[in-house]
Structure 1
Amino acid sequence: MSAPIYLDCNATTPIDPRVVEAMLPYLRSHYGNPSSGHAYGRAAKAAVDRARAEVAALIGAKPEEIVFTGCATEANNLALLGVARAARSRGRTVLMTSAIEHPSVLQPLRHLAREGWSVAELPVDAAGRVQASHAASLITPEVALVSVMRANNETGSLQAVRAMADLAHAAGALMHVDAAQAVGKVAVDVDTLGADLLTLAGHKFYAPKGVGALYVRSGVVLEPVQYGAGHEHGLRPGTENVPHIVALGEAALLARTALAQDAAHMTLLRDLLHARLAAAIPDLRLNGHPTERLPNTLNVSFPGVAGWQLLAAAPAVAASTGSACHAGDHAASGVLAAMGLTREAAAGAVRLSLGRLTTAAEIDGAAEALIRGWKSLTA
């Protein structure tokens, strides 16, 4: 049996072969500790510095504003907990987010709520987007931080982050953007977005799992959530994971140089897949914004079936019914519920997420398998 067609790039991307080649020398030969003063350490530190510069260039930041972490979840925790601990003495008592954030944002905020913070959630419209007009009356001088993702991991809908940032800054609050799903798929620039803090994840754009970064704008004060020897400006102690950081730097370079080409390729194939499915399946529903969404993401509800049943009936396709963090859970997506979908429509949702390596032949095969699976369940 041939390998399934991989359409789950929002869960994780394959590692780009060029990224593998870049990191291999730091697994085999250049094994020094970047904190060591000898030649081995200096070589490792130079590699970390180059990677930091590449990550900064990808998002329009300065190298010294990049803090390497073990993943996006760690970066989100550092941003949220770090701001809250630093802001507690300034009389601000409210943290604000949207109803469709990733658990790595929602769970730290719920932890802070148990510590006495007020946490407010902004609702989204039927396309999964926060409306700035609604948020304007809620972002008051009591708010310390607004955290809104750039792109939703399930629907791909893009948020009007700059409008949120302007409201936050007018109230004296900081703006955090979880850009884990956006970086490498659409242009992400911290100044254009108005971000004071921004999270990215290597394994969402062709680097390995186990490495991420947090952008911290110069002048923003964070309290660390871990303590040690002072690595990463004292915000992320522990010896740097040099091979994975090098990989992240290479992935950032590739993303920066191929962003437009990759986006055009994925948009073309995504829309072809949607057209094929819609032509064969009456009442197929698109979930998310029709245009303001990631170029690689197609979230659709199949009528009359549950998403997990459809994927079981189409084993030639490797996809998901929502976030990979909830794999195996057949409950309706909280994101889709927040968008107002009926229980039946939410249950029938499948997320199909493409990558730079996806081919037209794979799209043809995936469409055929999904249509055949749907027909077998509804005959």
Structure 2
Amino acid sequence: MQKLIYLDNAATTKTASEVVNEMLPYFTENYGNPSSIYSIGATAKEAVTKVRERIASSLGAKNNEIYFTGGGSESDNWALIATAQTYEAKGKHIITSKIEHHAVLHTCSYLEKQGYEITYVDVDENGIVKLDELEKAIRPDTVLISVMFANNEIGTIQPIKEIGAIAKAHGVLFHTDAVQAYAHVPIDVDEMNIDMLSASGHKFHGPKGIGFLYIRTGIKIRSFIHGGQQERGRRAGTENVTGIVGMGKAVELSFLRMEESAAKQRELRDYLIKRIKEEVPHCRLNGDGVRRLPNNVNYSFQFIEGESLLIMLDMKGICASSGSACTSGSLDPSHVLLAIGLPHEIAHGSLRLTVSEENTIEEMDAVIDAIKEIVDKLRKMSPLYEDFIKKQKK
């Protein structure tokens, strides 16, 4: 059986064994409901409280500013919809970027149907939000700016501190989707003027189906799920104790190892970037070369289809992506790549590789060799490439 090489860590990560071990007792021994008054309920409640404290500490936040959710998409929906509804007396205008995750973009589309107005700010060729355009878009009726911390497809890290400062200066709330960034790069919500922040446990070796929303004290947005008094009455439903405990352990491990893991990921990332650039002609690195997540590589290859490349890599035991996992079933080119100015025919030939600290240089060599072989094979089947070569020879 061939060895699996997993390079799709932006889609999800392997749950760490330490995380699984931490969770197990909360399935079979400490299985009480945190709202119950007897001892196993109190044990569960204490575990939830400790994780809340750990996450708050990691962000420079207060304990009561962390609310557990079912993941990043729920957190994004809550931040946008509840803010829009709560502050509609001030106005019904929201600003976001053209390269947001669909959890934000589709929520904005929903709000537009409810009578809200959304401004989608442009990004430059590296995927960085144009700050002057963002500030010019602010109006008296603007209630929220939502810009992701780091892009899930091309890895570009936004100037979050500057965006937060602009929002604060104009009295506008600022939300950031930090699903790809949290536990991978340092974040301080006060220093960066962040009012709300979304994160998801399975992006940093925690379990799926658990995340959180940071809401700064004083922001009185509405509850998103109605029912009981869990999460201080703002998000009803019995807490996912096992998921919370697992995410808490993943947070602990990630912040203990962040610097070391990031250094290892950057080494692998830069090795991939350099060799592909040097050894595969007619390709383009997407995303910023410096302001970039440590684990992200995104290339577009001319004259091929990304889906064909993915299928042939999978046949070699290599897991990769053409972009967001949420759009992998779509035949349309990535909205992110189109937003940074790529034409459709080049955007279609994209490949995203996202490494973890568990990958090796030997694996990178195998992946690069496979990419070279497959790209060459696909181009030989391409009429567009054949025409290009003929023109080059004239």
* Band of TM-score, shorter chain: over 0.9
Work out the CA distance in 1 between the residues paired with 2:261 and 2:57.
Answer: 18
User: Which whole-Å deviations, capped at 9, do the CAs of 1:257-278 have from their partners, x for residues lacking one?
Assistant: 1111111000000111112222
Which position in structure 2 is the counterpart of 1:223?
222
Which position in structure 1 is the counterpart of 2:297?
298
Which position in structure 1 is the counterpart of 2:70?
70
Letter in 1 for 2:45: K
How far residue 58 of structure 1 moved from its aligned partner, in angstroms, is 1.8
Please give the residue correspondences for 1:1-379 in structure 2 after superposition, counting only pairs within 5 Å.
1-89=1-89, 91-315=90-314, 316=316, 317-379=318-380
Tell me the TM-score normalized by structure 2: 0.94
* Contact kept? 1:141, 1:172, Cα under 8 Å: no
Identity, % of aligned pairs? Answer: 40
* Contact kept? 2:165, 2:192, Cα under 8 Å: no
User: Which whole-Å deviations, capped at 9, do the CAs of 1:235-277 have from their partners, x for residues lacking one?
Assistant: 2100001010001111111111111111100000011111222
User: Which whole-Å deviations, capped at 9, do the CAs of 1:25-60 have from their partners, x for residues lacking one?
Assistant: 111211010011111111000100111111112222
Q: Secondary structure at the match of 1:95?
A: strand
Letter in 1 for 2:295: N
* Contact kept? 1:150, 1:178, Cα under 8 Å: yes
Work out the CA distance in 2 between the residues paired with 1:338 and 1:7.
Answer: 24
Work out the CA distance in 2 between the residues paired with 1:55 and 1:129.
Answer: 27
How far residue 78 of structure 1 moved from its aligned partner, in angstroms, is 0.8
Work out the CA distance in 1 between the residues paired with 2:364 and 2:183.
Answer: 21
Q: 62-71 or 225-234: which moved more?
A: 225-234
* Contact kept? 1:58, 1:255, Cα under 8 Å: no
Q: Secondary structure at the match of 1:192?
A: coil
Q: 353-362 or 45-54: which moved more?
A: 353-362
Work out the CA distance in 1 between the residues paired with 2:102 and 2:161.
Answer: 22
Work out the CA distance in 2 between the residues paired with 1:335 and 1:100.
Answer: 5
Tell me the TM-score normalized by structure 1: 0.97
Structure 1 gap segments, 5+ residues each: none
Structure 1 outlier segments of 4+, above 6 Å: none
User: Which whole-Å deviations, capped at 9, do the CAs of 1:57-85 have from their partners, x for residues lacking one?
Assistant: 22221111100001111111111111111
How far residue 141 of structure 1 moved from its aligned partner, in angstroms, is 2.4
Letter in 1 for 2:12: T
What is the aligned residue count?
A: 378
* Contact kept? 1:149, 1:179, Cα under 8 Å: yes
Q: Secondary structure at the match of 2:137?
A: coil
Work out the CA distance in 1 between the residues paired with 2:202 and 2:252.
Answer: 14
Work out the CA distance in 1 between the residues paired with 2:97 and 2:379.
Answer: 36
Work out the CA distance in 1 between the residues paired with 2:42 and 2:228.
Answer: 18
